[in-house]
Structures are given as structure tokens and as C-alpha cells.
Structure 1
Amino acid sequence: MTSASLSFSAESVTEAAVDVVVIGARSVDGSVELVADPAYAGIAAHLDALGVTGGADQLVRTVDTVGAAKTIAIIGLGRGTDAAALRAAAGSAARQLTGVDTVAFAIPTSDAVEAAAIGEGAALGAYAYTAYRHTSLEKTKTPASSIVVYTASAPDDAEQARIIAVADGVNLVRDLVNAPPSDLYPESFVDLAGDAIGDLPIEVTVWDETELAADGFGGILGVGQGSARPPRLLKLAYSPAAATQHLAIVGKGITFDTGGLSLKPPVPMIGMKSDMAGAANVLAVIVAAARTELPVRLTGWLCLAENMPSGNAVRPNDVLSIRGGTTVEVVNTDAEGRLVMADGLVAASEEHPDAIVDVATLTGAQVVALGHRYSAVMGEVDLVERVLAASKSVAEPFWPMPIPEELRARLDSGVADIKNATPGDPAAGMMLAAAFLQDFIGKTADGESTIPWAHLDIAGAALNEGKLYSFNGPGATGVSVRTLLALAESYTSK
């Protein structure tokens, strides 16, 4: 992980001896408008000559003839100047400005919220995964190590700490997802989680394959039995004394997905190292919450397995017994994520939290339906609305989808309580997977109603394999970390 230092300053930006000063430009009714510290107002007359359009993600560099910086970079804001546009623009600039040490932002802000958005975007954009890159290329591919936001309305110390914790959380997910699957597998994931947690007040419980069998976690065991590297279940419990509500988060952690005996074709198998993004999200959210002392109880269930074909692999028509006793006929071994998630959802339900949210790169059907930037959310109506409100507050696009009642009948099995897929019928695949998961949500402590539950399918947005945009470079995006943290904040007693 490359983590740039972030600071805020009320001093004059023209005195800053930095490599680059970033200012903005936006598109307004067919013309371009400069959005910059007044010291740079003279540049407005040269925007056309420089080819500046103000379009989102456009970055134009020129010599700084105003202050002490070496160069000026003009970043496009698109049509907006709200916090979301500022975050995206700052992130885009920080992502594109590689091979420099220090970057200063001189884009005017009206309040601490907008200043925080610039800081957060820049911190998210200043990321590069260089662990396996040749040293001769490292400098040119590495973003700035120091970012300063020049503003008269800097966020307070607590907010600055939150920004850094959020950015570190997103970057932790990126590191884990970008890691090659030869190095990231269930046991090593657990070790890396321990490194990330360090001395934070998070209780860690690990089930190995023997303990998984003893405690009835048949979904995780079944999916992992084809690999020479056995599965794990990792529970993270953050329980601050001030908490009055309890949110459980369940994450899919398939460290590599070949499809098992229902083997994927070669090209779709590329990128399946990202199939543990849900579990990485859970880890990052709980670590960030503990770092910022968020007063809400959070319990994470990370369901870790490697889905491999071998003589020991689960077969189509095998029957697995999920935690709690529900039996599942496996008719497609490539529909494995829902099997490990079922165990996690049952375990989470046993503690009767106020709500359960699961996050997973669950279905290719999600990508077909919503593409590569929107994630889906399904489940109990009020909780879905709460997730959408959280996603809107941080500008991470989620879209609500239904779980039609008639879908459950398609999962009826002739030999078990339920089957995990409907081979030969791809219709409504994303929602069908959610219908499967819904069967494993337990009752509230009084037994009167089902625990509120929401399912987040982030399959399309978790890995960026297309055009680079905003603070998202190539590879892992860390999508949903910020949404889940905003959701957790909505459960605080503050």
C-alpha cells in the first residue's frame, strides 16, 4: 500500500514549494469556468489555449508562473462543484499525478465538508499497488507521498482522522484484492487481517477446518475441500462500551474462484482473485470503525475458502449441511459464494443483531444488469433505504433490486431443503442468489420477526478493468467500504 500523508493549511498556496498545485475548471453551458484560489485568476484567460474543457477526469499541466510550485495542474470538475464532484476531481488529479512527491490543492471550498471531500478524494487517488512492480518502473507509477489541501475551512482533527482511516480502509481492500492468489489464501488472509488489526480493540476468533466441521459450517468446508489450502472462518468483534446497537456484516471471501468442478472458461477466470472483496470490505470497515472509536457494536463474519477442482472437490448433486442444519443440494459448484455466505448469515443471526448486511462479489448477473460502476442492494425495505441513504452520502452508486417471491420455488430440490442454483436457466440470476441467501436469515431475539437484512452484490464495481476514473485506478476499487462505514455511523448513539 502507498499511503500519502494528508494535511490542511490556511497559509498562502503561492508560497508552497511543492511539485504541483492543483486547481479546477468546470464546464458551464458550453464554456469553461476556472475554479481556483484567486491568486491563479489570470490563468482563466488561457484555458482555451491550453485545451482545458472542464470535463471530468481531464488533467492539463502547465508551468507555474504565479507561485513557488514547479507546475500547475488543472483538473476537470465536470458540471458540478458539490462535495461529490470535488472528491472525484481531487481523486482523479492525485491518481494521475504520478512521479511527483508533493501535491497541493488550491480549489476553493465553502465549508469544512467540501474541504474534507477534497482531502478524502486526494487520499483515495494517491494509491498504487507496486508490491510486484520492477523497481525501475516504481517511481513513474507511484503517486505523491504528501498532499496538502489549502483552505480556510479545514475539517477538525477528528474529521481529518476519519478521512485517513477511511482512505486506509479502502486501500487495505485494494491491497488484498490486488494481491496474487498464490500469496493470498484463507490462512494468509487471516494472518494479514491480524496485521491490519494490530492492537485495536477487536476480538478475533478463527475456525480452522477441524473446528468448522465440529461446529457445523458445512458450506465453507464444502467449497474449500477441493483446495490444498483449507478454508477458514474469521470472526471480528468490535464492542465499544458506548454502543447501543449491533450491526453484523458478513463477507464473501473466496480467495480464488475457478468454479470448482463446474469449471469457468479461461477468460472469465481471470480476475477471480477479486472474489474475496466482500470479506476484505468487512475487515476494512471494522478496522476503520475501531480506529475512529465509532460507538456502534460491529461483528464481522469473513467466510474464507478457495474454490478449486480436484479429486476432493464437492461434486454437482452433493448435499451440504449448512450451520443450523439446512441441507443444500449443490447443482453448480460455481455458485459457491452463496454456500459460504449461508454459514456466515446463520452464525450472524445467532447473535440477534439489530441488522445484518452481507457484501459479496456474488453474481455475474449483477454485472449484466448494472454494469461496472453500480452495485446492487436487496433485502428488507427499510434497511435497503438506509443503505441507499448511506451510499448517496458518500457518492458510491448503489441501485435497489427486488427479491420476487416466486423465485424461491425455482430453488426447490428433490433431495435436500434447497438447491444452490438453477442450471440452464440464467433468468434473474442476481435476485435468485439473494433469494437463496434470504433462507438463512434468522429471527429476532423475541422470535417475532426476521432480523432486518440487506444483501450487497458488488461484483461489477469491485474490480476496475476498464477506463480509469475519479480516484479509481486499475484493479481493485475498495467499493462499499465508505458506504458501509456511513451505514455503521447511522447506528451510533451519537
Structure 2
Amino acid sequence: MTALTLSTAAAPGLRADAIVIGVAKGVKGPIVAPGSEPVDQAYDGRLAGVLETLGATGAEGEVTKLPAPAGFKAPLVLAVGLGAEPEKDASYDAEALRRAAGVAARALTGSKKAAFALPLTDAGDVGAVAEGVVLGAYSFDAYKQNGADARAKNAKAPLAEAALLGGKPRDAAHKAALARATAVGEELNRARDLINMPPNDLDPEAFATLAQTAAKEHGIKVQVLDEKALAKGGYGGILGVGGGSAAAPRLVKLSYTSSKADKHLAFVGKGITYDSGGISLKPAGHNETMKCDMSGAAAVFAAVVAAARLGLEVNVTGWLALAENMPSGTATRPGDVLRMFSGKTVEVLNTDAEGRLVLADALWAASQEKPDAIVDVATLTGAMMLALGSRTFGVMANDDAFRTTVYEAAEEVGEPAWPMPLPEHLRKGMDSATADIANMGERMGGGLVAGLFLREFVGEGITWAHLDIAGPAFNEGGPFGYTPKGGTGTAVRTLVRLAELTAAGELG
């Protein structure tokens, strides 16, 4: 983990491997951003021209390296693009700062310490830069030769320490912003680690064990239902999905409570630790990244722990619906009917539409506690990826105002999202002649159909939202901003923000 500090030191006298400055894209060329004045002065006020000569434009994500001026104790200046220059009297957007800090942290892999002289006008900027550093410095190398134990000797180790110049160590708001960024960033990286773990090491039982360990460390109550308890309780959806695997399913309940709380949020996560499609087997080329099908459960797990670390004045319950979807002689078949925890029966028309089955049981379990709101998170449908691409998740809800709140919370923390409808006419396509409902409906609008299916298992009168993170949960391309290749930890920050809004009495 990258150690973060606030510093009032001047850039020239700071011992570090690099000084990070910001450069914006102006109308007539690159513009040196606030925070880098001491560096610019050392170049006699000509730093922008030097950067332009080196090809810098200030475009977002751009990195330019140049030798530090004479008299600096750091040998390197790293200029990172912030994108378009803000309008007059406006400050830099928090997400632009977050992404720039992440790009710089990635570019400084192998460095021990860097000083970040990016624009810091208030505590929000401190939090954004700090979060970008923690997220950008992430790496997953536990399965490489010598593994993480050799990081200290590895030239490719992540940035070890970052000092935020211009931060105020004695300012309560700045200190709180740094602490929040550290907690949220580290828990988001925990989610990334889980998503990146190979499925032979992270089956439902192993996931449950990791959750128990973290819960004990952070004062969170935990309850784990194994296959016997699930059978006794009538959790037909989770058992049906997990029935084909030698690794038995689990339902994990994590409960963070605050003595000062009068509101209760429930988060529900899809945790398919590997998804082969079951009997409805996925074709070749579609299996290789299916270890990421537990990204929703990873996000819920991380968010509950983050809420505990932050001491938020809200009760948060996380439900992790864990199963491995495999084909075998004991697997659920297309045409089978499952009796769910709610008592409803579901005709399974496609065993690769399994996420909605485990979520249905967990949603009904969460509903029994009558929380003020339920939010589920799942890599649920390829249809949502077709609709919104690989970087944006869909938000559906049974309440338009709550859907807007969730969408705005996601946008606020830098997680691209888009509100989606739940058209009533699509519900008819899931009518079954055999059971109460089928797990498949019309092909067109498949992501919305899945949302309508889940709505059937939310308790009456409970506000609910569904986040389909199938697109952004796993990055198969190259890293960008503070987002690495592989597991991204999408939705962790949105869930934490919803918990903060609830604690502040701002969630309708």
C-alpha cells in the first residue's frame, strides 16, 4: 500500500524520486497548473514552453518527464496532463485530479517516494489526489515468480510513498479527506485483489473465510450459511446455481452497526466465483475472464469494510451470494424448476442466467430486515455491455428519485453510470406455464429484463436499486487513469458514498 502524507514543504528541498506537477491544455498551448509555481520559477517562468518543446499539450493522461532544475533534491519532474484548463475562477474537476494522480502513480512504478504538487484548493482536492494515488499505484503480482513478498527488491514495485504538497497536516478537513481516501482506496484495492484471484483459489468457501477474517479485524458481525444451512432455509436459487460444482455455495451476511445510526442500508452482491454457464455452457472465448463474475460481491464486501473503517453513522448490511456455476451430473438443467427462498418458483430456461437466481434469494433475505433501501451490484448481463460499453454501469430502481440519487452519487465519485428504465411490457416475456416466473424473457432489452426479474424478489414497500456493472467491472484493455488492467473495483465508491449520504440524512 502507498503511504500518504500531507506536506507543507517546498518542492526544491524535498527529498524524493520525483516531483509531480500538473499541466493543462490551454487555448494557445500547455499551461502550468497551480501548485507547481516553485518548479516554474526554477525554470525562470518558462516551464510551459519547455514542456511544449518536449511535445506536451496538457491532454488528459499525458505524461512528460524532464530533469529537475538545479538545486532540487529530487532528480525528476513528471508533468501529468489535466485536460482542458478550467474556466476563469473555476477549480480543477475532482475526477481530473484523481485521474492525473493515478496516471502519475502508475508512471512512477519502481519509485520509493514522490511529491505531488497538483492543484489543492480545498479538502475535496486533497481527497481526490490521494485517492488517485492509492488506486493508480495498485498492482497484482501475488502469482508471479517470487510474488508480492519480493516487492521490496523488485524494481517494478508500486510507488511506496506519496507526499501531497500544499496539503495542511494540521487542518481537520484535510486530515479527514486523506484518511477517507486511504480507507476507501485500500478497500477498493481489496476488491480488485479478490476479482483478480484465480478461481482455483477463490471458491465460495474461501471467499467466505476471507470475509470472516476481515470482519473480525474491523468489528463487523458475520454469519455464513453453508450448503446445509441453505438447504434447511430453502435457498433454492443459490443451491440450484451451485449444485453442479464440487465447491459448495455460501451466503455471507456482514453487519456493520453504529450506535448513533437510525438508518439501515442493505447491499447485495452477486458472487459467482467462476461462471462456466453451467449446462448452458459458454462458448470458447467467453470463459477466460469469468473469475470476475463475483465483482458485485467483492464491491459489497469492500464497501461494508470501508463503512466500518470510516465509522459512518449508519447501519450497513452486506449480503454476498456466493456460488460456482459448473456443469455436471448434479447441475441444474434448462427446464428445471427451483423453489426460491421467497417461496416463488422459477423455471430455469438458461443456466447461464444464474446471477439473478442467487441474487433473488439474497434480495429476499435482505428484505426480511426491512432496511431503508437495498442496492444490489452484479456483473449481470452482456446486454448492458452492448447498451453502455465497457466503462459505464446501468442503474435501475423501483423508485425514480432513488435511481437519480444513486446515479448522481456514482457520478460524484467518478464512476460513470447511466439511469435505465424498467419497462413493464417486458415483464410478460418471463411468464412461465410451469412456474411463477422464468429466468429468461425477451432477448432485446435483456439487461432490463434481468432488472425486472430481480424486482420480483424485493420486499413490498422497500426502496431498491440494481447496478449492472458487467461492463466496467473487469478491464481487458490497457490501464488508464487510475484504473488497472483486470479487476477494477467498480461500484465500491458509489456504495460508500450512498452510505455517507444516508449517515448525513441526505438520502431520501
| Pairwise same-fold verdict (TM > 0.5) | yes
> How many angstroms apart in 2 are the aligned matches of 1:398 and 1:152?
31
**1:419 maps to 2:438:** yes
Correspondence 1:56 to 2:55? no
CA-CA distance at 1:152 after TM superposition: 4.4
Stretch of structure 1 that moved more, 243-252 or 114-123: 114-123
1:78 aligns with 2:83: yes
Q: Tell me the distance in 2 between the aligned counterparts of 1:132 and 1:59.
A: 29
1:65 equivalent in structure 2: 69
Is the Cα–Cα contact under 8 Å of residues 177 and 276 in structure 1 kept in the other structure? yes
Q: Normalised by the size of structure 1, how large is the TM-score?
A: 0.96
Q: Match of 2:405, SS?
A: helix
The answer as to 2:142 corresponding to 1:131 is: yes
- For 1:180 and 1:313, the matched residues in 2 are separated by 22
State the Cα deviation string for residues 261-293 of structure 1 (Å, max 9, x = none).
Answer: 000012111111000010011110010100110
> What is the RMSD computed on CA atoms of the aligned residues?
1.4
Q: Is the 8 A contact 1:243 1:493 kept in 2?
A: no
* Paired residue type of 2:341: R
2:359 pairs with 1:344: no
- Say yes or no: does 1:223 pair with 2:241: yes
Determine if contact 1:110/1:153 at 8 Å carries over to the other structure.
no
In the alignment, which residue of structure 1 is the partner of 2:448? 431
Give, in whole Å, the separation in 1 of the partners of 2:365 and 2:18: 51
Q: Cα deviations across residues 178-232 of structure 1 (Å, max 9, x unaligned)? A: 0001100100001111222233221100000000000011100000000000000
The change in CA–CA distance for 1:238 and 1:152 in structure 2 (over 3 A counts) is closer
**Residue pair 2:20, 2:79 contacting (<8 A) in 1 also:** yes
Among 26, 29, 48, the alignment partner of 1:28 is 26
Conservation of the 8 A alpha-carbon contact between 1:249 and 1:356:
yes
- What's the counterpart of residue 447 of structure 1? none
Q: Where do 1:316-355 residues align within 5 Å?
A: 316-355=334-373
- Do 2:168 and 2:174's aligned partners in 1 also have CA atoms closer than 8 Å? no
Please say if residues 356 and 454 of structure 1, whose CA atoms lie closer than 8 Å, have aligned partners that are also in contact: yes
Kindly tell me: are residues 93 and 33 of structure 1, through their superposed partners in 2, closer, same or farther at Cα, counting changes over 3 Å?
same
Whole-angstrom CA distance in 1 between matches of 2:10 and 2:216: 39
| Cα deviation code 1:12-67 (max 9, x no counterpart) | 12111111111111112252111142111122220122111211111111111251
Would you say 1:141 and 2:146 are equivalent positions? no
Match runs of 1:60-459 below 5 Å: 60-66=64-70, 67-80=72-85, 81-135=92-146, 139-153=154-168, 155-379=173-397, 380-422=399-441, 425-443=442-460, 450-459=461-470
> Aligned-pair distance for 1:142?
2.3
CA offsets per residue over residues 352-390 of structure 1, 9 Å max, x none?
111110000000111100001111000121111111121
Between the aligned partners of 1:20 and 1:61, the Cα distance in structure 2 is 9
Distance in 2, matches of 1:152 and 1:199, equals 30
Is 1:39 matched up with 2:50? no
In structure 1, stretches of 5+ residues that fail to align are 444-449
The one-letter code matched in structure 2 to 1:219 is G
Q: Distance in 2 between matches of 1:219 and 1:458?
A: 21
Contact (CA 8 Å) 1:242, 1:493: kept in 2 or not?
no
What stretches of structure 1 move > 6 A for 4+ residues in a row?
A: none
Matched residues in 2 for 1:298 and 1:214: separation? 26
**Which amino acid letter does the alignment assign opposite residue 33 of structure 1?**
I
User: Once structures 1 and 2 are overlaid, which stretch shifts more, 321-330 or 136-145?
Assistant: 136-145
Distance 1:55 1:180 in 2: 36
Q: Secondary structure at the match of 1:141?
A: coil
State the AA in 2 paired with 1:430. Answer: G
Q: Secondary structure at the match of 2:9?
A: coil
Once structures 1 and 2 are overlaid, which stretch shifts more, 458-467 or 79-88?
Answer: 79-88
Is the Cα–Cα contact under 8 Å of residues 215 and 254 in structure 2 kept in the other structure?
A: no
Aligned to 2:489: 478
- Determine helix, strand or coil for the equivalent of 1:78: strand
Q: Is the 8 A contact 2:124 2:177 kept in 1?
A: no
- The answer to whether the Cα contact below 8 Å between 1:263 and 1:334 also exists between their aligned partners in 2 is yes
- Distance in 1 between residues matched to 2:204 and 2:157, nearest whole Å: 29
- Counterpart Cα distance in 2 of 1:410 and 1:153: 58
Q: Distance in 1 between matches of 2:218 and 2:394?
A: 31
Q: Which residue identity is paired with 1:374?
A: T
Asked if 1:468 is matched to 2:457, the reply is: no
Distance 1:299 1:68 in 2: 49
Q: Which sections of structure 2, spanning at least 5 residues, go unmatched?
A: 86-91
What displacement does 1:153 show? 4.5
SS, match of residue 77 in structure 1? strand
- Aligned residue pair count: 484
